[in-house]
Amino acid sequence: MSHIFVTGGAGYIGSHTVVELLNADFDVTIFDNLCNSSRVVLERIQKITGKTPDFVEGDIRDSAALAAAFARKPVDAVIHFAGLKAVGESIEQPLEYYDNNVSGSIVLCETMQAAGIRKIIFSSSATVYGESASVPYKEDMPLGRASNPYGASKAMIERMLSDLCDSDGRWSVAALRYFNPVGAHKSGLIGEDPKGVPNNLMPFISRVAVGKLPELAIFGQDYDTPDGTCLRDYLHVSDLADGHRRALPALEKPGFQVYNLGTGRGYSVIEMVQAFERVAGRPVPHRFAPRRDGDLPAVWANADKAKTELGWSADTSLETMMEDTWRWQSANPDGYPQF
Ligand code: NAD
Ligand code: UDP
């Protein structure tokens, strides 16, 4: 396998994965409509790796644009990150989310099929386990009802890919269920740059620390957890990127496979705030607020399958996750420059 086509490769996880692939000497094409990312990412990837990935600006719902990009040079596998990911926004704009994520994935697979490309890694999420699963989550657990359109879109795409594999034995699919990616590349050149007010904990904490937001609201302090705040399985985005490279050989085997990508342990919101304060050497003003709708008390992975079958584990320490987040945020207080 040498040429990897990365949808959404200019985004947070995609850009780190592209760095990982270029460093491992893969040829990479990024296909991204830049709806949630910046062209500056391409220069930053070049700075880090000394290599320039091919870039095609396009939308995965545009079959002609995809087909033209596939025709440029033979593609060995697709890594599919492109999609919308804000849970709250998905509740307000469900059609937009189903269109981008589900219809986009259908158009992508149809166009791949027409081009004779049948290997794909898909960005799924721990959210597909639903509300009633018990921790640690394991790949063979039945999936529950998603509590929002974003989660439902991920479950639908997994189902669609699994049905595709059942219908045609030439397809190879690896659905990677991410837990909570945080951190940034150690260079401080690429990182998470959400538009507007962040929904996720880590970018919120780092924007408070850099003085762009006044304080963090901690959603709920009365959960049945050791300190009353929710537990999540936070993993370094560069470990997650490495997981994609290690999943590529699994595509040599046809069929549908699922892997959890997490560390296997949970940290509370309070532990995250305190760890960040220690590393950044400054306080993160915070207050307790009511629970956020749909939040589960505790989510973490059983990541044994990825370790056994892919030889992957997420070993970066919490301290390094915080250091790297802070390096990125303090060097880029306004995110990527806008032109
Ligand atoms: P991101 O928004 O930073 O990256 C997604 C990229 O896809 C962006 O560059 C965006 O411009 C592009 N894109 C969106 N819709 C597109 C379309 N229709 N056509 C072409 N490009 C399009 O998000 P991320 O955090 O890097 O997440 C990547 C993937 O991983 C997403 O599918 C997301 O749902 C999934 N995921 C993310 C997390 C997380 O916590 N970040 C957790 C689980 C799963
Ligand atoms: N969280 C919080 N304040 C925020 C954002 C998040 O207290 O401003 C909490 C949230 O309730 C959850 C944890 O941090 O317990 C992780 O939230 P995030 O949205 O990052 O991930 P997810 O809920 O998808 O696991």
Average pLDDT over residues 35-47: 97
Q: Whose CA is nearest to atom 20 of ligand 2?
A: 200
Residue 13: the pLDDT is 98
Q: How many CB atoms lie within 10 A of CB 315?
A: 11
What b/e sequence results for 54-87 when a residue is b if at least 16 CB atoms lie within 10 Å of its CB, and e otherwise? bbbebbbbbeebbeebbeeeebebbbbbbbbbbb
Q: Which residues are catalytic?
A: 150
For the CA of 229, the nearest atom of ligand 2: 15
Ligand closest to Cα of 206 equals 2
User: Cis bond leading into 285, ω under 30°?
Assistant: no
At 165-207, the pLDDT tens digits run 999 999 999 999 999 999 999 999 999 999 899 999 999 999 9
Average pLDDT over residues 322-337: 96
Listed in sequence order, the residues at least 6 apart from 278 whose beta carbon sits closer than 8 Å to its beta carbon are 319, 322
Ligand 1 pocket test, candidate residues 30, 123, 124, most atoms within 8 A of CB: 123
At 285-300, the pLDDT tens digits run 999 999 999 899 999 9
Residue bearing tokens 């259908």: 106
Ligand closest to Cα of 223 equals 2
Residue 298: the pLDDT is 97
Domains, the chain: 3-182+234-262 (3.40.50.720)
Cβ(198) – ligand 1 distance below 6 Å: no
CA of 38 to the centre of ligand 1 (A): 13
Residue 100: the pLDDT is 98
